[in-house]
Structure 1
């Protein structure tokens, strides 16, 4: 009887150990499968790239009736079609676009972004697609401000995170103005038109379009404070093949006249 009980106990222990080994093996397979699923979640892997845009930036990016329009929007759509990849837009404030690229939340961005040495430290840029520059803007009936030299003691508005913001910050001590920062261009336009800020700095093609299309009570008093070029950005050291496609597509659109047609649709020479 004791011998039978001992054999029964031994058999029970063997079954328990076998069950534990089986459970451990299945658990290990599950962890491996889960990791593989996580790593395959990048949208770029299936040819769909997430594009960061700032829809408060006409004529380059804006929204009408729920649809995205503008030079940047049409240009990146045309490049994607030319090169055979798909895109999905993700609108956000301009100030958030570079961090989103660095964090991998965006695959690329086209947002009237000037190519600068500082930005090239954390981003890779396409070939330039637009020659821009900063303009000094005042209310239309302002007769006191004709240049940066007239800004001592005045309040100047600028959009956060832009090259205009950098320019204003670097020259504040020289010209003696105060600075009001804004997250979007329309709020900045309204602030100057209402007289709260006496002037602002904005990319020239943007303010020229806004004044013409929206009949704003503003005027550009000094054009081309700086010479800048816009580029399409991708995270530093990533998406090299995509960047090559963008450059090739951009060049082909310039060669066949598509690029010129897009620009002239929004900016009249």
Structure 2
């Protein structure tokens, strides 16, 4: 009987001892895991702080990246009419800007305006960046900083398809109406290549295409990707030839002296080029812009709706405006 009691007592002691050992091991494991979690959390926090420091810059609105763009420049930027009938900003500039803001941990805000107003708003401090197919030409670089090239394009001269065989060179346009977007590189190319033409500056590329296809303009200067897109959607439009230009490509415009933001933009461009994102944005935008029936290029009305079709600025009025500038 005593043996049984002793044996039972010993068994109980051994059980308690084993339980104690097990409890001690679990406690040690829990403590180690807790310590590891703390170390990991600290490392992640430090990594997050370092990442945040890499894109540490001021924006005009806390938590937002305000970007100026002119949505009349498909496939760069335009409105696509969604299935519910609502216009949505689209284009590879828009996709690029959205991705950049996301990676910066900021909310993107697009400020849409006519092209020739973007750089003025940037200089005034109303927007953080100008993203609208800007070419970083030497004159602009005197006033603004520009990122690395994120899209390499070219410049083209367009005519009505029926006149493709009629014109052989720029010298044929002496005294004739030639169009280009006001405030653009293309306007400067018009002055350089067709100095004897009647150069008409219009605020939107859509106006230029309309005037060209209706015979009010004999020729027009356009960015190549834009010209190719319009040629797909307007059978009467054709690219006559490429226009020589030293700075072939688009860059992001940044206010002069904002080096931190410029560095962050350049780092983002490098990353998106490396992983193929920018090429993907271009392909998707070109496909979407080909859906001409659901593409709108221009400004929306005060209610955020597509403006009713109305007769745009006439060539005669534009000519008077150009003379006054």
Query: Normalising to structure 2: TM-score of the pair?
Result: 0.65
| 1:208 equivalenced with 2:228 (yes/no) | yes
- For 2:177, the equivalent position in structure 1 comes to 155
Question: What does residue range 16-95 of structure 1 map to in structure 2 within 5 Å?
Answer: 44=60, 46-65=62-81, 66-95=87-116
* Deviation for aligned residue 1:101: 0.7
Question: Matches of 1:194 and 1:45 in 2, distance apart?
Answer: 44
| 1:235 equivalenced with 2:251 (yes/no) | no
SS at match of 2:152: strand
- For 1:226, the equivalent position in structure 2 comes to 245
SS at match of 2:154: strand
- For 1:263, the equivalent position in structure 2 comes to 282
* Deviation for aligned residue 1:43: 5.3
Gaps of 5+ in 1: 1-41
* Deviation for aligned residue 1:147: 2.2
Q: Which runs of 4+ in 1 moved over 6 A?
A: none
Question: Matches of 1:216 and 1:186 in 2, distance apart?
Answer: 15
- For 1:247, the equivalent position in structure 2 comes to 266
Give the number of equivalent residue pairs: 223
* Deviation for aligned residue 1:46: 1.7
Q: How has the CA–CA distance of structure 1 residues 52 and 70 changed in structure 2, closer, same or farther, with 3 Å as cutoff?
A: same
Q: How has the CA–CA distance of structure 1 residues 103 and 44 changed in structure 2, closer, same or farther, with 3 Å as cutoff?
A: closer
Is the 8 Å Cα contact of residues 171 and 194 (structure 2) preserved in structure 1? no
Question: Matches of 1:80 and 1:247 in 2, distance apart?
Answer: 13
Question: What does residue range 84-233 of structure 1 map to in structure 2 within 5 Å?
Answer: 84-142=105-163, 143-173=165-195, 176-212=196-232, 214-227=233-246, 228-233=248-253
Give the greater-gyration-radius structure (CA): 2
* Deviation for aligned residue 1:144: 1.5
- For 1:37, the equivalent position in structure 2 comes to none
Gaps of 5+ in 2: 1-57, 82-86, 288-325
